[in-house]
Copies of this chain bind each other. A is one copy, B any other.
Amino acid sequence: MTKVFTRQEILEVIPNIDLITELERGFIAFSEGKAMVPLPGEMFFEELQGEVQIKYGHLENDPYYIVKIASIFPGNITSGLATSNGSMLVFSAKNGQLLAVLLEEGKLTAVRTAVAGAVAAKYLAPKKITCIGIIGTGAQARLQLEYLEKVTDCKDVLVWGRNEAHAKAYAEDMNKKGFNVKVAKNTADIGSSCNLIVTATAAVAPVILDKHIRKGTHITAIGADNSEKNELEPLTLARANLVVTDSLEQSRSSGEVFQTWINGLISDNDVLELGNIIRDKAFQRSAENQITVADLTGAAIQDIQIAKAVYEQLSK
**A43-B38, A81-B97, A95-B76 given as contacts; is B67 within 8 A of A69 (CB)?**
yes
Please indicate the chain B residues that have their CB under 8 angstroms from the CB of A87 in the complex.
2, 89, 98
Task: State how many angstroms separate the Cβ of A125 from the closest Cβ of chain B.
Answer: 35
Is A13's CB within 8 Å of the partner chain B? Answer: no
Contact call B38/A41, Cβ cutoff below 8 A = yes
Q: Please, could you name 23 A-B residue pairs with CB atoms under 8 Å apart, sorted by A?
A: A2-B4, A2-B87, A36-B43, A38-B42, A38-B43, A41-B41, A43-B56, A43-B58, A45-B93, A48-B94, A50-B95, A52-B96, A54-B67, A69-B89, A73-B96, A75-B95, A76-B95, A79-B95, A81-B97, A85-B95, A85-B97, A87-B89, A98-B103
Is A276's CB within 8 Å of the partner chain B? Answer: no
Minimal Cβ-Cβ distance residue in B for A103: B2
Minimal Cβ-Cβ distance residue in B for A75: B95
Report A34-67 CB contacts with B as 1/0, cut-off 8 Å. Answer: 0010100111010010101010111000000101
Is A71's CB within 8 Å of the partner chain B? Answer: yes
Minimal Cβ-Cβ distance residue in B for A106: B96
Listed from nearest, the 8 A-B pairs whose CB atoms lie closest are: A71-B96, A85-B96, A73-B96, A73-B95, A87-B98, A41-B41, A76-B95, A4-B4
Copies in the complex: 2
Please indicate the chain B residues that have their CB under 8 angstroms from the CB of A101 in the complex.
2, 4, 101
**A50-B93, A85-B98, A101-B4 given as contacts; is B69 within 8 A of A43 (CB)?**
no
Task: State how many angstroms separate the Cβ of A1 from the closest Cβ of chain B.
Answer: 9
Contacts from A to B (Cβ < 8 Å): 2, 4, 36, 38, 41-43, 45, 48, 50, 52, 54, 56-58, 65, 67, 69, 71-73, 75-76, 79, 81, 85, 87, 89, 91, 93-98, 101, 103
Please indicate the chain B residues that have their CB under 8 angstroms from the CB of A98 in the complex.
69, 85, 87, 103
Task: Report the bound CA distance from A67 to B2 in whole Å.
Answer: 17
**A36-B43, A54-B41 given as contacts; is B73 within 8 A of A94 (CB)?**
yes
Contact call A43/B71, Cβ cutoff below 8 A = no
Please indicate the chain B residues that have their CB under 8 angstroms from the CB of A79 in the complex.
95
Please indicate the chain B residues that have their CB under 8 angstroms from the CB of A72 in the complex.
96
Task: State how many angstroms separate the Cβ of A251 from the closest Cβ of chain B.
Answer: 21
Task: State how many angstroms separate the Cβ of A126 from the closest Cβ of chain B.
Answer: 40
Minimal Cβ-Cβ distance residue in B for A45: B93
Given contacts A50-B96, A71-B91, 12 further A-B contacts (CB under 8 A): A2-B87, A2-B103, A38-B41, A41-B56, A43-B56, A45-B93, A48-B93, A54-B54, A69-B91, A72-B96, A76-B96, A87-B98
Task: State how many angstroms separate the Cβ of A169 from the closest Cβ of chain B.
Answer: 25
Task: State how many angstroms separate the Cβ of A219 from the closest Cβ of chain B.
Answer: 31
Contact call B43/A65, Cβ cutoff below 8 A = yes
Minimal Cβ-Cβ distance residue in B for A38: B41
